A and B are shown apart, each in its own frame.
Chain A
């Protein structure tokens, strides 16, 4: 019973993307970490950011999540210029980031983690208490809505597999009203099957009208789920493509630096006899 993909009702201008980058750049001292990055994130779409190690993916996330400010360029939220001074401000604007460490406490139960920092309460005054029954119920329901089948919301998060933890973190961000969901390498440490499971939840979040930014260095994970692809190399954009304009092989070639890969393929070829 997944809700049908709904158009965003919060955006004042429905044609404007949820989040747009225009010529964004960032320097660390004399190192240009990022320069001239432009792309957009629309509601109900997945924008993939691809790049090899050191391409500037992490810097880009930090700018989107409010950890760093961009030194150049513009960040537009709902078509209006935005400037996030802290992760809290970005979160309040509806931009949730699921970092690689997931911000979950391994020793605590899933439902306790799910509502950590935003616990539902009931009762008044000194009798105000954590509504555990409701928290468990909502956790179970939200996870089920994302198609996540957990045995028992009472088990500690530490006993979950990497993919399951990632899924719980995604469900949590969606439940707490994320309009833009930034996923930092959600599949990097996972096996093939687990990665597939996580990608399915990414698609679920997309279908619920969330704009997703998926950061990865794996074009095989990005291409099936992505609608738009931003390829980074050494801090610069190699282009922002719609899905129709680029194939998976082209993405792979772009990421590896195109010509370099051709050269490599040539070198590795068996000498023809």
Chain B
């Protein structure tokens, strides 16, 4: 977790029973290590066989799905470190995208007003999830499964009611679209390849989340709440507030990704985002998050998203059947979970 400056008091007599806790072992218990090894392996595997994959244009191509997934995976990783799941995160990207499109087009508002309302809706849903989880003490799995299904129904029902179809579109003609496009969906040329701005946002959010986790009080509370909520509360950590904030952060990330989708495509399907929630969790787990909470990293989750993006585009680049994609992803997940299990054992083994 900590970035461990190697300040070992070397003058003291070392415990003779201690096996060398050298830099290697310390590296091994870092949550993102497995994901880093995985990402390098996957990259090497595809890059060796496909020239397109390793070209600048190819890299920009597989960074794109990795970026929107990565933004969500980082937020979901924070939530998982805090000890909770959010199954409504995927469908929430649809809810927010639809809100942007419907408010801007059907209610003829400036797109920034629509984006603001969409953020308000997202934060409200996040607060509701967190509040219900902390109030009832029920597993977040079941509560967010409930909101997931409710939102799925609302997305379809309200879209049909307001637009008469299952698509909300026509966003390109909304006032303010140009500036919104610049923020959420512009492209820039780096080394001759067109890179979408979402990639920059993804890097930025990963850095921010890492800083918050490792270098703020709130980050300490996230680890503590996920590690042992009762113990955390006993020493004065506001565990309830921490949990609610994490659910609202996940919702805010869904809003960002949803808005990006809406502005990019200018029209939104009512079933957008359904099924994605598990992919976010997969990326976070590949990135070293423990399902039981209290351990994980934002960088790891981003690497997990990178593995996802590379596999998603690498398989068609090799002209394999795209059906193999899920097999790969599943195998990666299993490997990651097995590796995490070792980490937890070594970290929790108490020597009495």
Docked pose: A121 CA to B236 CA in angstroms: 16
For chain A residues 129-168, which have a beta carbon within 8 Å of chain B? 129-130, 132-133, 136, 140, 149, 151-152, 154-156, 158-162, 165
Q: Which of B215, B231, B295, B346 contacts A132 (CB 8 A)?
A: B215
User: What is the minimal beta-carbon distance from B152 to any residue of chain A, in angstroms?
Assistant: 35
Q: Indicate whether A111 reaches chain B with its CB closer than 8 angstroms.
A: yes
**Does A111 contact B237, Cβ atoms closer than 8 Å?**
no
Closest Cβ neighbor of B211 among chain A residues = A129
Residue numbers in B under 8 Å from A88 (CB-CB): 236
Q: Indicate whether A191 reaches chain B with its CB closer than 8 angstroms.
A: yes
Docked pose: A101 CA to B14 CA in angstroms: 28
**Does B220 contact A116, Cβ atoms closer than 8 Å?**
yes
Q: A108-B294, A111-B2 are in contact. Are A152 and B228 (CB under 8 A)?
A: no
Closest Cβ neighbor of B346 among chain A residues = A159
Q: Indicate whether A16 reaches chain B with its CB closer than 8 angstroms.
A: no
**Does A191 contact B237, Cβ atoms closer than 8 Å?**
no
Interface majority SS (helix, strand, loop, mixed), chain B: loop
Q: Which of B1, B4, B350 contacts A108 (CB 8 A)?
A: B1
Q: How many A-B residue pairs have CB under 8 A?
A: 114
Interface majority SS (helix, strand, loop, mixed), chain A: loop
Q: Indicate whether B352 reaches chain A with its CB closer than 8 angstroms.
A: yes
Docked pose: A3 CA to B46 CA in angstroms: 64
Count of interface residues, chain B, beta-carbon cutoff 8 Å: 42
Closest Cβ neighbor of A191 among chain B residues = B352
Docked pose: A53 CA to B33 CA in angstroms: 48
Q: Indicate whether A104 reaches chain B with its CB closer than 8 angstroms.
A: yes
Residue numbers in A under 8 Å from B224 (CB-CB): 105, 108, 112, 116-117
Q: A107-B223, A108-B1, A132-B215 are in contact. Are A117 and B231 (CB under 8 A)?
A: no
**Does B8 contact A119, Cβ atoms closer than 8 Å?**
no
**Does A130 contact B294, Cβ atoms closer than 8 Å?**
no
For chain A residues 157-195, which have a beta carbon within 8 Å of chain B? 158-162, 165, 189-191, 194
**Does A149 contact B347, Cβ atoms closer than 8 Å?**
no
**Does B352 contact A158, Cβ atoms closer than 8 Å?**
no
Supply 15 further A-B pairs (C-beta < 8 A) apart from A104-B228, A159-B346, A160-B351: A87-B234, A102-B231, A108-B220, A108-B294, A116-B224, A116-B232, A118-B236, A129-B211, A130-B220, A136-B5, A151-B18, A152-B21, A156-B29, A162-B350, A165-B350
